[in-house]
């Protein structure tokens, strides 16, 4: 039984909750510099927000209009409970609704296995982003 819900969110209406999760995961936990976390793409992206039964934000993801998935973040205490998997499946569902045929993402190297389980394929060589090893991955929806 899921003890969380996932819904579409907007930066204008849900920015505080979205920021809280991303600040916790990326800035505090992973030490991503603040100036690298926030960009102009938040306003134009479709955001997804996972909430616990009390209405607290526990995970986020965003989908850019060009099919780039980013800012997948699950609070530490919710990892290993299926939230990330459900969130990714919902992002892929929303991409399909928007007739996006291919999605891409820059996976942290330690998360590559997670994305491979869903059918993502490595597209490029490893690179560093915010001091963390990443690799570009693709997924075809058609």
**Alpha carbon of residue 38 to chain centroid:** 14
The whole-model pTM stands at 0.93
Q: Is 109 left (phi over 0), alpha (psi -120 to 50) or beta?
A: alpha
Q: What is the pLDDT of residue 2?
A: 66
Q: Which two tokens stand for residue 13?
A: 């209406």
pLDDT of residue 31: 92
Measure the CA–CA gap between 142 and 140, rounded to whole angstroms.
6
- 1-5, 40-44, 68-72, 120-124: lowest mean pLDDT where? 1-5
In CATH, what number does 5-140 get? 3.40.630.30
Helix or strand holding residue 18 (H, E) = helix 11-22
Mean pLDDT of 31-37: 87
Closest CA to 89 of 110, 108, 117: 117
* Coil, helix or strand at residue 95: helix
Return the domain boundaries, the chain.
5-140
Q: Which of 1-5, 73-77, 113-117 has the lowest mean pLDDT?
A: 1-5
Structure confidence at residue 106 as a pLDDT band (50, 70, 90): very high
Mean pLDDT value across residues 22-45: 92
Give me the chain's average pLDDT, please. Answer: 95
The percent of residues above 90 in pLDDT, for the chain, comes to: 89
Widest CA span of the chain, in angstroms? 41
């Amino acid at each position: 039984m899921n003890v969380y819900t996932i819904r579409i969110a907007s930066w204008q209406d849900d920015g505080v909750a979205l920021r809280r999760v991303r600040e916790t995961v990326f800035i505090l936990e992973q030490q991503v510099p603040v100036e690298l976390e926030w960009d102009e793409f938040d306003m134009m992206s479709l955001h997804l927000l996972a909430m616990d039964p009390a209405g607290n934000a526990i995970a986020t993801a965003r989908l850019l209009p060009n099919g780039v998935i980013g800012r997948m973040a699950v609070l530490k205490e919710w990892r290993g409970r299926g939230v990330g998997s459900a969130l990714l499946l919902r992002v892929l569902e929303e991409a399909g609704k928007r007739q996006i045929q291919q999605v891409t993402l820059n996976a942290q190297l330690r998360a590559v296995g997670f994305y491979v389980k869903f059918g993502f394929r490595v597209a490029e060589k490893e690179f560093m982003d915010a001091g963390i090893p990443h690799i570009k991955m693709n997924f075809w929806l058609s």
